[in-house]
Chains A and B, each alone.
Chain A
Amino acid sequence: MSEAVDYSIFLARDAQGHAEMSLAVDGIDCAACIGDIENGIRALPGVVKARLNYSTHRLTVAWDGEGAPAQVVDRLQALGYRAHPFAGRAEESEARHAQWLLRCLGVAGFAAMNVMLLSVSVWSGNVTDITPETRDLFHWISALIALPAAAYAGQPFFQSAYRALRTRRLNMDVPITIGVILALGMSVVETALHQEHAYFDSAVMLLFFLLAGRYLDHEARRRTRAVAGNVAALRGEMAHRLGPDGVPVRVPVQALAAGDHILVAAGERIGADGVVAFGASAVDEALVTGETLPRPVGSGAPVYAGSLNGAGALTVKVTAGGEGTLIDDVQRLLDGATSARNFYVRLADRVSRLYAPMVHLTALVSAIGWLLLGAGLHHAVMIAVAVLIITCPCALALAVPVVQVVATGRLFRAGLLINAGDMVERLAIVDTVVFDKTGTLTLPEPELRLPEGADPALVAAAARLALSSRHPLAVVLARQAATAPLSEVTEWPGQGISALMDGVEARLGSLAFCGAPAPADLPATASLIAFRLGARTLVVGIDQGLRPDAGEVVAGLKARGLDVRILSGDRPEAVAPVAAHLGISAFEAGLKPADKIAAINALKAAGRKVLMVGDGLNDAPALAAADVSLSPASGAAVTQAQADAVFLGTSLSPVEAAIDGSRVAQRLMRQNLALAVLYNLVAVPLAVLGHVTPLVAALAMSGSSILVTLNALRAARFGRPVISVPQQSPPGADVVPAGVEEATA
């Protein structure tokens, strides 16, 4: 780590003017790590603050004066933790929103408790000996507490209802807002008229329950996004940017901008989209196109972010850097595909669209009905308000979000990070699963395949020589090495490397370079690399291994009655054996992104509900086109942003868990909605007939909310514990989330 690294784009200033930086830290798994990290970092010169957030695995460090950010990263590395700086502007505003909701919740809770205290006195006093003066006093005090509290705590609903009405839509917040305002207004009138009943307690309690649901919902998503952000940051992609003086400086890829020149060494990933300015090589674009064979590039050829450089060093002129590393084509396809899915409306919204007009109509009809029956205007309006309060969608507004929160927490523990709020509802009705091959069914990192009867000593020697090469295939072989690299190695550009091993010439490289015959017993999909030591030769294959449980998961999905298919951008020869091995008969290979969309749209046109699982940049539009989509954490950043959920680790079982979990969650949501409807069927007639006193309204409302919440908690217990969150993960994906039990609390 002697090389200069420029982390300056991640630096911010804190309130005291210290330079401050946030880092995503990997490898934290116990309480002792907190002390290790904080004390280790505080011991650095100039550091004034080091605070680790154990929930999100983020470290905040502040310096006085000239401390260098790279020093902190190195120090953490020395302590045994991988870390990468983090720029989380969007998350800051989310944290502020969460705080605001919590403040509203606190205010509503305070008001609900105190108003309830007074209301219970009034209720019991009404049947015993309360004097009208005392009752009025209690009602006025209730008004004094409830009005300002509701004005403050109701803001999340009022604002949302106002936004909805301004765009001429109805959402759940509209009946809530109308109900709360009418109830408060009517209660003030009742109090002024010295009546027996007021609804202050119902109004603030309603706000309290609804805010609790909303806060839980928001918090679960925020936590998921924080972990997803860590996964992205910890990949820690760096690039060598050429300074004005021609000296390369290591910078995070986020800092690259169009016009920069970057140096890409052999075996390195390219950090941004660009054109080759100088040099020749072959690039592996498996993440971008799904094609596993390297594509030769020379001066003027376009290269894309995420592709792996082969044997030669390249100087690339960046055309799109930072967050904008997209192929325009992919982006255009994405836009088209995304808008096609927007017609889908969340279950709760669909219900509320019907529900809101129905509630208001019922209230209006009962008021008119009572007027026609000869009741006074005051009495009729009171009944309408009672109808509005008792139907106020407390249970309904909690029914879906609470299940979602609990199910999200459960899926999180199975290794899934959920991006889209309505994913559970879409996933539950899926009947076709489409997999991409490279990086999805297969592991993103290639695996070594040895021919039968390979001499272990020869393999060890080959691995030792491979340590001196940065060729991507050699790097895989070098993982087998147990000894130090050789000191003198000659490079033969485009062919391989050679060295003297115990006085014998050893060569590693292409089959021709080593004079080795092509073997018959290696898989046809493997890339070959040859080794010659004196007269003996060895040919090994480097192949993309299947995910360890791919077979099981595919079989499991079929057992659930799902149609499993493969759509791959890779060559047919590479796809066929994988499909045969997994027992998937429906596969298509050599597809361009547009072909994948066409294939998915054809399935959708045939009435299928399609789940797409893919990782490459080429899959992003197809993911957007499918009804619902999953992506592994090792996938391209764009693809992850497009997927409804991201799964961690090397195992494919989260796909199965996601389908099971969402089916259970869907069932619970339906049950909850049915419960809410049932509650309304019982409560509404009572209210319309004029039997609802504030006491009954308060009991019915909180009772239905608690029932729905308890039912939702059952989502935490579905199925067997799928996996204990992935232990052996590919590099960059091994963030083990701490439990999310809070989400269900």
Chain B
Amino acid sequence: MSDQKTPAPTAPVTGPGSPQDVPPVPGSLPIDPATRPEPIRDELLAPDPVAIDTAAAELKDGLNRCPKCGATEIRPKPGTDLLVCLYCRNEWDGARVEEAFGFGEGLDQLRGTVIASGARDIAADAASLMTFKCTACGAEVTVNTENAMTARCHWCRHVFGVNEQIANGAVPDAVLPFHIKKDDAVARIRQFVDKRRLFALKAFKEQFTPENVVGVYLPYMIVDGNASADVAGKGEIKTREYTRGTGNDKKTYYDADIYQVDRHVDFTVDDLPLESSTERGNLDTRVNTNNIINTILPFDTKNAVKWNASYLMGFTSEKRNQDVEHLRPRLEDQLLSIARAQVESSVRRYDRGVRWEQERLDVHGTRWVSMYLPVWLYSYHQPGRNGGLLHYIAVNGRTGETMGSVPVQQWKLLMAALTVGTVLEGIALWIVAASS
């Protein structure tokens, strides 16, 4: 290299393509791979290296076989983390991802963005329908990953599950099996609604059938983070309190000292759950009631087991459509909120309160794991403008925590409020009249 005559062009110091430029979205390519020669194209299109590969090689053909007899007729055992073979009754459980991949460890050492294989970006062109060739009879078995992860061969009755993660990002790293059984969920929903009947919409009460509750696996990203935050603002301490004037003109006045307050905190978070479907992540209560499903968080995600589609037999599922980069703003927002909660106790001396004016977040490292979490959902569609509103009553499939939205009979509630208001007004008028 010593006889090199023309030096290689150097990167610009400022402007496009320099470190001063806004960095591109990770995963985006400035050139179209399709127009490049094959070796370059192969390299560009090769999958990004994954820090933690959670794919189970033994399940790649879609068949989950009983380790004892080899049958594929496998179901989750209700209320447990076990799988049971319907032929020989053999029971076994999946490996907890926490130990299998070391997810609980070294949070304060986290650097950069670590993505488990099931949390990788979703292939935009991947179809929802996945086809398997049955090894027993040669038939083709199709699974629709929009709402199911398992299907049965019509000819030989083998059960297939979508276990291959590279397919389309539909397959998560881990699944947390249902523990709350359907009867239990029905009872909790019934109890929730029984306490809210007086002003409930008449049609809702008439059609209320909690037995129609559905067990759904909802997609989440479970995030660990290592971050630092700074907040700055003003705090006030009361120095004097006194009154001026007499009788009805008596007024209270305050003197106070104003302080500039700065705080810094380094912290880690363990297993923060973020909805990874756009619809579920939208918590705008004017247009939906997804905040109900959000409220039943958190789950005991430490007990999640390695992905195995057999855990989904008998349940439906929703597909993830958000990648890590989509969710990063929400993660940062939540990390800032956590930091603000952490510093609150350090500003107690400001008895007139504090007003934070600036905040700053440094995310040193994050780890993302894609997980299916178990939720019992009872839904009721209330007709109305703009397609009405879908109300949910949700039961956490692990803890049983229940929350719901019961549609209100508007006129009944207004009447009750006006009646009480009228009574109060009558009392007020009587007092005013009596004292004048």
Does B associate with A?
no
A interface residue numbers (CB < 8 A to B): none
Binding site for A on B (CB under 8 A): none
